[in-house]
Structure 1
Amino acid sequence: MFFIGAVVSNRIGINYGQLGNNLPSPARSIELLKNMNIGRVKLYDADHEILNLLSGTDIDVAITVANDEISGIAASQHLADQWVYEHVIAHYPSTRIRFVLVGNKVFSSISTPEDMQIARVLVRAMRRIKNTIKALGIRNIKIGTPLAMDIMETTTFPPSNGTFKQELQQLMVPLLKYINGTKSFFFINVYPYIEWFESQVWNQTAINLGSALFRSDDESYTDPQSGLEYTNLLDQMLDSVVYAMAKLGYNDVMLAISETGWPHEGESGANRYNAAEYIHNLVRKMTAVPSIGTPARPGVVIPTFIFSMYDENQKFGASTERQWGLFNPDGSPVYEVNITSIV
């Protein structure tokens, strides 16, 4: 039987993506992670070389089931067993796999029948993966799925107005029921930079840059319905998700941040100074002892993964999409920030 008692750690995590043709080797990358004393790493796949290199370290690992594998696993317990044996059991427990994330932003693209089918069977696939892991006596691996803030209705402020998009609620209820029942986390990608930037472009709201960067001495915001006071944009975004879950009957599902960061080059507000300030203040908040949580969830640990380890020059989209990394291709820091010993 595999069993290791698990406690929710407030050590910071990082996303290790590989969509670049100039990135350091996996061996060099894992050395960088160890030198940073990083607490967690999130992979967008379940790469055997990387998982082998992480063996024997104290780094908690999140691995990912690809979106195009979800339907097959949902339809077949045998395929789920096969995936777990190949990607989990081959490395566990010497590699500290703690999360299996099924898919990535599955609810963000449901415009085609194929995408909608994947979204509909997502929870079934999660359940099959969990069945295999549970049958092996493993109790400390949580199953989740990272979602993006586009699951929310356009107007999510004040936070107490937070509501999931109407067309997603039929998908969200079984997901929340499953996550709640297995005591797992609701993984959400949260980007105050994007919220702030879009508010400048569309002039929908007067979001303060200081709020997006955790400058607590800047103006605060009081939710007129809840009476809770907010000093930063991240808390507002997270609590909008908390209220949205509550409106579907789930008041205490745990949150985890699967991605958050700030671009160091690109469009308005994207520079190294702001990126360093955001990461510094994020880490100080998320690793505080005792835990700070959010106004709606005070004192609660929120596992957090920074996006990202590297700039990835083969990602699609605007140039800013490729400028979120903490490290250059030669392994040197893009900007100076200590993500493990901030006080």
Structure 2
Amino acid sequence: AEISSRAGVNYGQLGNNLPSPATSVELIKSLRAKRVKLYDANPKILRALKGTDIQVSVMIPNELIPNVSASQSFSDRWVRTNVVPFYPSTKIRYLLVGNEILTNPDVGTWFNLVPAMRRVKLSLRKFRLHKVKVGTPHATNVLESSFPPSNGTFRSDIAVRVIKPMLQFLNRTRSFMFLDVYPYFPWAAEPSNINLDYALFQAHNVTYTDPLSNLTYTNLFDQIVDAVVFAMKRLGYPGIRIFIAETGWPSAGDVDQIGASIYNAAVYNRNAGGPGTERHFGLLYPNGTAVYEIDLSGQTPLSGYKKPLPPPTTNEPYKGELWCVVAAEEGSANETALAEALSWACSQGKGICDPLQPGGKCSKPDSLSWHASYAFSAYWAQFKKLGGTCSFNGLAALTAKDPSIGRCKVPSGRLA
């Protein structure tokens, strides 16, 4: 399969301290990026990109897919409002229908996806926007099997009903299979079995040969992409071009996130030429300063970067004690959600929250945040080995700082 090679960036807009669109576009230019992907069709950003040589991807939000799927007039209005006024002075080249829809638990939306893509293509034709390709980004968990790559197979719940008609559409319209590829996650799940250098494009003496295809791989990225290629071939579409919509390596993370460091992120992205979008996958801080030097044109040799990278300190799992506590500052968490999570944690095991009862040695301070932190940590310590996690719908995070107060000893756990 052919893979598009012009590196770009993803323009995330989550945050209240971000640079203006005009400043952001100048920063994108400074990175020598050739493409930018938006997670919507923000008119201020599209205007700021006017007259540049940067190719742009705009996106229809996930929640609008049922409307687009059900109504051609709705699709026409969206394209007329969000694409037509800016084209061609802003180089909109890709219209993405949703983001990682087939990872979304809302199964009903899955089956609206391809009909929505067809309607959007009709809308683009109606307005004579023939150069704009229609696609949708996929996480690699659309695969049921990915190892060895030649055994790549799409999930049985989507292969026939969603993926095959989508591949038919992409093939007919000569569009791309958009993929979000993050070697970090399979490596972090099995750091003892996957060589770190192999995941970072640095494995000069480490290779993997697929026993069925006899293809030899020198990095994890290619191995992941090829699993998708073989999965498409299995459905009868081996020649559809692949477009890497997202990739990257985190430059920081929670204490349990092995390998998340500026050093590893820089090494990965300087080779891959593509940033990610999740927390700490970005190339720039909100104030516009660079997390590390990078030239997305690929023209700067590794020896051409001036600032030395800080040595990685997280390549081995954290071996000390950890506590699972409320992630937000005192009083800033959603109190309703926090109270529900506290109640759930206390109901999961015998005696988990007994020390929080009136008169108990952990009952003070009598605050929701403190009680929730105790309950979260007690739950995690008791159930971690059985698969319990420190998440609570994003309300909790691991910390190496002991939250115990006075005679109250908060239960802790270890990663290994």
Superposition TM-score tier, normalisation by shorter sequence: 0.7 to 0.9
Give the aligned partner of residue 262 of structure 1: 249
Q: What letter matches 1:306 in structure 2?
A: P
- Residue number among 192, 195, 199 corresponding to 1:212 in the alignment: 199
Q: Secondary structure at the match of 2:157?
A: helix
Deviation above 6 Å: which 4+ runs of structure 1?
A: none
Equivalent position of 1:286 in the other structure: none
The CA distance in 2 between the partners of 1:99 and 1:89, in whole Å, is: 13
What secondary structure does 1:166 align onto? coil
Equivalents in 2 of 1:157, 1:238: separation in Å? 11
1:192-212 deviation digits (Å, cap 9, x = unpaired): 001100123xx6xx1111110
**Deviation at 1:117?**
2.1
Q: Which amino acid aligns with 1:232?
A: N
Equivalent residue letter for 1:160: S
The count of aligned residue pairs is 294
Post-superposition offset of 1:156: 1.2
Change (3 A) 1:218 1:210: farther
Residue equivalent to 1:49: 44
Tell whether 2:291 aligns with 1:334.
yes
Instruction: Please say if residues 4 and 243 of structure 2, whose CA atoms lie closer than 8 Å, have aligned partners that are also in contact.
Output: no
- 266-275 vs 95-104, greater mean Cα deviation: 266-275
Does 2:37 correspond to 1:80? Answer: no
2:225 is aligned, of 235, 238, 257, to 238
The alpha-carbon deviation at position 330 of structure 1 amounts to 1.8
Distance 1:69 1:330 in 2: 31
Letter in 2 for 1:222: T
Q: Distance in 1 between matches of 2:238 and 2:212?
A: 17
Cα deviation, 1:90-143, whole Å, max 9, x if unaligned, reads 100000000000001110023xxxx22211011111111110111222221100
Alignment of 1:139-288 (within 5 A): 139-153=130-144, 155-169=145-159, 170-200=161-191, 206-266=193-253, 267-283=257-273
Match in the other structure for 2:12: 17
The residue type equivalent to 2:291 in the other structure is V
Cα distance in 2 between the residues matched to 1:329 and 1:132: 36
Q: Secondary structure at the match of 1:90?
A: helix
Measure, in 2, the Cα distance between the counterparts of 1:37 and 1:209.
28
Distance 2:16 2:187 in 1: 31
Aligned partner of 1:100 among 92, 95, 98: 95
Q: Which residue identity is paired with 2:231?
A: A
**1:136, 1:182 → 2: CA distance?**
16
Q: What amino acid is the match of 2:205? A: D
1:287-340 superposed Cα distances (whole Å, 9 cap, x missing partner)? xxxxxxxxxxxxxxxxxx5214xxxxxxxxxxxx42111111221110122222
In structure 1, what residue type is equivalent to 2:142?
I
Unmatched runs of 5 consecutive residues or more in structure 1: 1-7, 284-304, 309-320
**What TM-score comes out, normalization by structure 2 length?**
0.69
The one of 262, 267, 276 aligned to 1:307: 276
2:93 equivalent to 1:61? no
> TM-score, normalised to structure 1's length?
0.83
Write the distance in 2 (CA, Å) between the matches of 1:47 and 1:109.
23
Letter in 2 for 1:36: L
**Cα shift at 1:11:** 2.3
Aligned partners of 2:125 and 2:203: how far apart in 1? Answer: 44
Deviations 1:198-249 (A, max 9, x none): 123xx6xx11111100014131110000000100000000000000011111
Between the aligned partners of 1:164 and 1:199, the Cα distance in structure 2 is: 22
Distance of 1:212 and 1:40 partners within structure 2: 24
Structure 1 letter corresponding to 2:269? I
More relative contact order, 1 or 2 (CA 8 Å, 6+ apart): 1
Q: 1:137-190: CA deviations, max 9, x gaps?
A: 22211000001011111x411100111111111211111111111100001110
What is the SS of the residue equivalent to 1:306? coil
Do the aligned residues in 2 keep the contact of 1:39 with 1:58 (CA within 8 Å)? Answer: yes
Of the structure 1 ranges 93-102 and 132-141, higher mean CA displacement relative to structure 2 is found in 132-141
The code of the aligned residue for 1:127 comes to: R
Deviation at 1:22, TM superposition (A): 2.1
- The 8 Å contact of residues 210 and 218 in structure 1, kept in 2 or not, is answered as no
Is 1:119 matched with 2:114? no
Amino acid of the structure 1 residue aligned with 2:177: F
* 1:323 counterpart = 2:280: yes
Supply the distance in 2 between the matched residues of 1:143 and 1:85 (Cα, whole angstroms).
Answer: 15
Describe the SS at the equivalent of 2:94: strand
Distance in 2 of aligned mates of 1:330 and 1:159: 41
Give 1:9 shift: 6.4
Q: Which residue does the alignment assign to 1:4?
A: none
Q: Report deviation, 1:73.
A: 1.0
Larger Rg: 2
Q: Is the 8 A contact 1:211 1:218 kept in 2?
A: no
Matched, 1:132 2:116: no
Classify the secondary structure of the residue corresponding to 1:18: coil
